[in-house]
Amino acid sequence: MSSASEYRHFMDECLRWAIDARSDEERTSFLQIAKTWHEAAMRLEQSLGRVRESRERVEPVAHDTTKRR
């Protein structure tokens, strides 16, 4: 699985390409791709945060039930 930092690296590359673009159309395309990588990084981080939150809720309950046996 890719990490959010990898996605941000791709975003940074696109931003550098946008600076060196030969036309407004090319620049716009690179900026749109950079935006997409940024959104993907944000979604991945949010998703991982939700996974952590779920684990934090489930693990104490699971641990407690093993103590009772």
pLDDT in tens, 5-51: 999 999 999 999 999 999 999 999 999 999 999 999 999 988 888 66
CA distance 35 to 15: 9
CA distance 13 to 34: 8
Burial class of residue 41, CB neighbours in 10 A (0-12, 13-18, 19+): buried
pTM of the model: 0.70
Q: Provide CB contacts within 8 A for 39, sequence distance 6+.
A: none
Tell me the H-state helices in 2-69. Answer: 4-19, 24-68
